[in-house]
Amino acid sequence: MQLGRLTTNILGIVLVLILWQAVGMHLGDALVATPVQVAKALPETLTDPEFWPALGLMIGQMMIGYLLALAVGIPLGIAMGRSRPVFTVVKPWASMFIVVSAAALVPLLIILMGRGLLFRTCIVFVATLWYVVVSITEAARAVSPRLLDVAKSFSASDFQRFRFVILPALYPYLLIAARIGLIHALRAMVTAEMFIGAGFGGLLNNAGLDLSTAPLFGLIVVLMLVSAGATELLRRVAGRAAPWYASRTGG
């Protein structure tokens, strides 16, 4: 079963690579570099003295805004899910912010706070926060009222019901929210860096000006690997931390 899934995965990737190769050979590497050309250009990209510091800077600075968004978003989401008044007040803002793309906010934030760390942290925070809030809110609303009744039957106090029922019920969803948030944080960070031509986004900008698109595709592939790697890591953490959830969903 596990092996079969892996085979299907690999088959899917190979098919796309073949399609990509065909399109690339047809259009030429000025438009779409082929996977083979990308693979050849990749070592050069990875050994570029600017590459690793740019990647490190992007991830490092992104983490600040991302962790802040989790620190604010998780409690806010729980409060929204468990308290009618908080939900009524915050929900309209959440619905509005979540549909605004990070790119739309970039010019405004640059005017407000320049192009430094504050700006980058802020754009990541704003772009990530509401996805975290909305996922946690839904999870908190769905906590089983019957299990809360069970706890109450055993004379659990409000705090004990929070600690013994609501928090553990939310646990797997916290890690799901962290995963969703991470994807949005990374996207916002790349968008912001491309606007100001710094870090990894700056490299993407420069690569876009090259004659061949091979280095550009190389950077995009790196970005995909970083994102997929990080979410996979969080998924594994979730599987370890909430085995009852993972073994029930077969994850």
Partner 1 sequence: MAHLSVTGISKTFGTVPVLVDQSLEVEQGEFVALLGPSGCGKSTLLQIINGLIPADSGRVVLDGEDITGRTGSGRGMVFQGADLFPWRTAIENIAFGLQVKGVGKAERLERARHYLELVGLRGFENAWPHQLSGGMQQRVGIARAFCIQPSLLLMDEPFGALDVQTRDILQDELVRIWEAEPKMVLFVTHGIEEALYLADRILVFSKRPARVLSEIKVPFARPRHDDMKLDPEFLRLRREISELLRHDLEA
- Provide the binding-site residues for partner 1, judged by CB under 8 A: 146-147, 149-156, 160, 164-165, 168-169, 171, 242-245, 247-248
Report the residue number, 11 or 167, with the smaller CB distance to partner 1: 167
Instruction: With both helix axes pointing from N to C terminus, report the angle between 35-47 and 2-27 in degrees, rounded to the nearest 10.
Output: 90
Q: How many CB atoms lie within 10 A of CB 84?
A: 8
Nearest Cα to Cα of residue 219 among 230, 198, 205, 232: 205
Nearer to partner 1, 86 or 150 (CB): 150
Give min distance, CB of 146 to partner 1, in A: 5
- Cβ nearer to partner 1, comparing 117 with 147: 147
Please enumerate in sequence order all residues whose Cβ is within 8 A of that of 99, keeping only pairs 6 or more positions apart, or say none.
Answer: none
* Minimal distance, residue 134 CB to partner 1, in Å: 23
Nearer to partner 1 among residue 172 and residue 218 (C-beta): 172
Residue 100 CB, nearest approach to partner 1 (Å): 36
170-209 burial by CB neighbour count: b if 16+ within 10 A, else e? bbbbbbbbbbbbbebbbbbbbbbbbbbebbbbbbbbebee
| Cα separation, 82 vs 139, whole angstroms | 10
**How many C-beta atoms lie closer than 10 Å to residue 223's C-beta?**
18
Taking the least distance from each CB to partner 1, the nearer of 80 and 165 is 165
For residue 125, the minimal CB distance to partner 1 (Å) is 30
**Residue among 69, 163, 177, 61 nearest 115 (CA):** 61
CB of 150 to partner 1, least distance (A): 5
Q: How far is the CB of 167 from partner 1 (least distance, A)?
A: 9
Comparing CB distances to partner 1, the nearer of 59 and 147 is 147
